[in-house]
Amino acid sequence: MHPLIKEVILSKEKIDERTKIVAKQVTEHYRSQKIGDEPIVLVGFLKGCVPFMGNFLENFELNCQTEYMLISSYGSNIKSSGKPEILLDLRIPIENRHILIVEDIIDTGITLDFMVNYFRMQNPKSVKIITMLDKVTAHKVDIKADWKCFDVEDQFLVGMGLDVNERFRNLPYVAVVDVEKLATWKW
């Protein structure tokens, strides 16, 4: 294991197992809405969403299309700048569509709060949120995921899409970074 990794908190098995369960709940929700064959628009925010989006898609049984946006709130910093920026927008109209945001993590919640408002202004039929991880105690705005896989503590996490300095996104588990070592780490 890389020396900057202090502790694995969620194994691949645990993430896969839980994603399966939550994806089923999401599937059942939309089935109960009787939306027929209408494809749900899954929206992922690059880059962190990629592994979880893949996991979720494998387990989501309904008609859907996948779209991606590039939003940046962190830049290369550890802490959120608090100012999300849309670097790449959707290329489809979302009026009258069901939107499901597929996130890797809610930290301060600022990105999602901003994005949900942005989508709502475009008159979609619905906007829902599923997140793999939720740092509930770190929220700075009033935002709630409709579905989540895990609550996590307010620690610096990597893996399954989460990065430090663009590294570790490919780890198939979620781990805590050793912030003491990171402070003097030479990349």
Hey, which residues does 162 pair with through a beta bridge? 159
Residue 112 · residue 99 · CB < 8 Å: no
List alpha helices for 46-133, DSSP H: 50-59, 110-120
Is 109 among the residues that bind ligand PRP (CB under 6 A)? Answer: yes
Q: Which of 101, 110, 127, 164 binds ligand PRP (CB under 6 A)?
A: 110
Is 74 among the residues that bind ligand PRP (CB under 6 A)? Answer: yes
DSSP letter, residue 39: P
160's tokens: 């399954």
- The active-site residue out of 37, 89, 107, 151 is 107
Strand ranges in 48-95 using DSSP code E only, listed in sequence order: 64-72, 85-88
Residue 162 · residue 155 · CB < 8 Å: no
> How many residues line the site for ligand PRP (CB under 6 A)?
17
Is 131 among the residues that bind ligand PRP (CB under 6 A)? Answer: no
Which range in 2-10, 67-75, 94-102, 145-153 contacts ligand PRP by CB under 6 A? 67-75
Helix (H/G/I), strand (E/B), else coil: 141:
coil
Which range in 7-15, 44-52, 58-66, 145-153 contacts ligand PRP by CB under 6 A? 44-52
Is 15 among the residues that bind ligand PRP (CB under 6 A)? Answer: no
Residue 1 · residue 182 · CB < 8 Å: no
107 part of the active site: yes
Q: Which of 60, 97, 104, 160 binds ligand PRP (CB under 6 A)?
A: 104
Is 45 among the residues that bind ligand PRP (CB under 6 A)? Answer: yes
85 vs 95: CA distance, rounded Å: 22
Is 73 among the residues that bind ligand PRP (CB under 6 A)? Answer: yes
- Listed residue (35, 81, 97) closest to 62, CA to CA: 35
48's tokens: 């962190």
Helix (H/G/I), strand (E/B), else coil: 111:
helix
Site string for ligand PRP, 142-181 (x = CB under 6 A): ---------------------x------------------
Is 107 among the residues that bind ligand PRP (CB under 6 A)? Answer: yes
User: Catalytic residue positions?
Assistant: 107
Which positions touch ligand PRP (CB under 6 A)? Answer: 45, 47-48, 72-74, 80, 103-111, 163
